[in-house]
Amino acid sequence: MQPELETLLQAAIAAIKRGGTVVYPTETVYGLGADALLEGAIAKVYELKQRERSKPLSLAVSSFEMLQRVAVVDDPALLDLLAELLPGPVTVLLPKRVLVPDLLTAGSDLVGVRFPDNEIALRIIRETGPITATSANISGQKPPTRAEAVALDADVLINGGRCKYSMPSTVVAVTSVTATGEAAAQTIKPEIKILRRGARYERVLHVLRRKATGEGIYRFSLSELRGE
Q: Where do the structural domains in the chain lie, given as residue ranges? A: 3-72+101-157
For position 189, what pLDDT does the model report?
64
- CA of 118: how far to CAs of 101, 177, 184, in Å? 25, 33, 42
**pLDDT score at 223:** 43
- Quote the pTM value: 0.90
Q: Which CATH architecture has domain 3-72+101-157?
A: Alpha-Beta Complex (3.90)
pLDDT band at 183 (very low <50, low <70, confident <90, very high): very low
Kindly report, residue by residue over 20-71, the tens digit of the pLDDT. 999 999 999 999 999 999 999 999 999 999 999 999 999 999 999 999 999 9
Reported as a single tens digit per residue, the pLDDT across 72-94 is: 998 888 899 999 999 999 999 99
Confidence tier at 188 by pLDDT (50, 70, 90): low
- Considering only CA atoms, which of 149, 173, 152 is closest in space to residue 161? 149
**pLDDT at position 139:** 96
Lowest pLDDT segment from 8-12, 174-178, 205-209: 174-178
pLDDT, tens only, 109-156: 999 999 999 999 999 999 999 999 999 999 999 999 999 999 999 999
Query: What pLDDT, on a 0 to 100 scale, did the predictor assign at position 179?
Result: 46
Q: What is the DSSP string of 15-66?
A: HHHTT--EEE--SSS-EEE-BTT-HHHHHHHHHHHT--TTS--EEE-SSHHH
Which pLDDT score, from 0 to 100, does residue 209 have? 84
Percent of the chain residues past pLDDT 90, beyond the cut: 76
Least confident of 92-101, 107-116, 166-175: 166-175
The angle at the Cα of 92, spanning 95 to 75, to the nearest 5 degrees, equals: 55
What rounded mean pLDDT belongs to the chain? 89
